[in-house]
Every structure is written in structure tokens, then in C-alpha cells.
Structure 1
């Protein structure tokens, strides 16, 4: 079990919140798909690079998209946070790569993400 895979406690908290509507084909196990989604979000890899142990990558991307549109993710994160007495913390380790001189560029307002993008270009 990887560090970003669901624990048994998290799975039991989340299970009642997951949609159960079957869409024509045999449903891939929710835990496998969720772990695949978490793997992809943690690594930043393309959806197609999700390891086979998490099921078809199409199942992961489709459920992620459908559940996002339906608002399921907000309920899932809220339930997990409550299960841990609100002590769940998330850190986004993503970063923006800058040109070596980009950090010294004068900032003239606007979008900070765009500063890095202009410095790279």
C-alpha cells in the first residue's frame, strides 16, 4: 500500500458517499479507482500513465471528471476530514519552474503565475 492509498478507515467513511449507478460495463472497484486518482494527482503524471494495478486509466479519469461535476469530491474530503476530527491537512507540493534570473525580475503587479511564465519564455 502506497502512502497515498486509502486506509481501511477512509474507505469505510467514503463508501456511503460514492455513487453506485452502474453505467453499462462491469464497475471497477471504487477503492482501486480512487487510489489510481490519488496516484495521478500526487505524481502529476498523465492519466494514461496510471499503473494497471489501479484498473483502466479511463475509469479513473472518467470517475474523477464525473464526480467533480457532481460535487462528490467536496463531500468526500469533508467526510474524511471529520473522521480525523478536522485534523487532515493537505500540502500542494507543486511548483513553477522559473528561468534562473526569473526570481530577480521586478514584479509590476498582475498574476504571480504569469510572472514565472513570462520569465521562462
Structure 2
């Protein structure tokens, strides 16, 4: 697990509660886990929206 990432057991507990999943009304998200992890990273690290590490991808497309 990455320093600010979710463990697999944490992800299993919340994944079905998020919109944008398969079988959910509306559009499907590209990667809900990545979205949740970048939000957690920003909150825990106290960084601005535009400053997530490169592993999260282009900040304009992650949020």
C-alpha cells in the first residue's frame, strides 16, 4: 500500500457505494479507486489541487 493509498480491504468496503460504477445509472467512471486515492492524498498531504504526484495522472483529468 502506498503511504496515502487505500488498502485492498478498505477499497472492497467502499467501492460499491460510489457513483460511476458498472451497472449504476449514468456514466461509468474511468477509475473510481484512483479518484478516491488522489482525494485522500490531497487531504492528507495538504497540497493544492494542481500538485498531486505524477502517478495520479494529469490533474485536469483526475478530478
Q: Same fold (TM over 0.5)?
A: yes
Partner of 1:34: 36
Q: Structure 2: which 5+ runs fail to align?
A: 21-25
Identify the structure with the greater helix proportion: 1
Partner of 2:59: 57
- Length-normalised TM-score, structure 1: 0.41
Number of residue pairs matched? 57
Partners of 1:36 and 1:46 in 2: how far apart?
A: 11
- After superposing on structure 2, the runs of 4+ consecutive aligned residues of structure 1 that deviate more than 6 Å are none
CA contact (8 A) 1:5 1:38 kept: yes
Partner of 1:22: 27
Question: What's the RMSD between the two structures over aligned residues?
Answer: 1.9
Counting only pairs closer than 5 Å after superposition, residues 1-121 of structure 1 correspond to structure 2 as 1-20=1-20, 21-22=26-27, 27-58=29-60, 59-60=62-63
